[in-house]
Amino acid sequence: MIDREHYTPSPASARVRKNEGDKWTLILVRQLRHDPEKVWQALTDPAQLREWAPFDIDGSLDTVGATVKLTWVGTTTPIETTVTRADAPEVLEYNDTRWELEPLGGGTRLTLWTNIDRRYISMGAAGWHVSLDVLDSVLNGTPIGRIAGGEAMKFEGWKQLNTEYAKQFAESND
């Protein structure tokens, strides 16, 4: 495992879209050097998700209609989650989350769409940003360990991203 002290988050880069009320959609795009099939496995397999995602699940997310218990890191109450779309290896949807995988060169353009309350959008962006950096390290064979929940909020890189995203999203407010 690589020492986390050497991990520096990639540059802040996300978009937001206002929905009705206080719900906004956070959109993060990441270019990964791995084919969509490998990325798909990292998005759907419980063991792989435990290495990078900010939640644990008790089953696979690869089948439409599958119901799993999703537990966010740092919480104890699972959320029953049903997969509403699983077009491997292109689109995965569950709850308020949509993943799109697009072949790009020899790799994948991964896009995350997730709905989040406006009050928490910069925090969510920072958290997902760090998680996607960790995903990239896992896929590259140089894992740095999952950084999620309260642990992420203590991490200096998360704090910097949260500040940067708060500034970026303030400009796109309303």
Q: What is the pLDDT of residues 40-68, one digit of tens each?
A: 999 999 999 999 999 999 999 999 999 99
pLDDT at site 172: 63
pLDDT at site 18: 86
pLDDT at site 23: 84
Q: In which residue are the tokens 């537990």 written?
A: 71
Positive or negative CA dihedral for 150, 11, 129, 45? negative
In CATH, the architecture of 4-54+93-171 is 2-Layer Sandwich (3.30)
DSSP letters spanning 59-95 = S-S-STT-EEEEEETT----EEEEEEEEETTTEEEET
| Residues of the chain predicted below pLDDT 70 | 1-3, 171-174
List the chain domain ranges: 4-54+93-171
- Determine how many CB atoms are found less than 10 A away from the CB of residue 81: 20
Spatial separation of the C-alpha atoms in residues 16 and 54, rounded to whole Å = 20
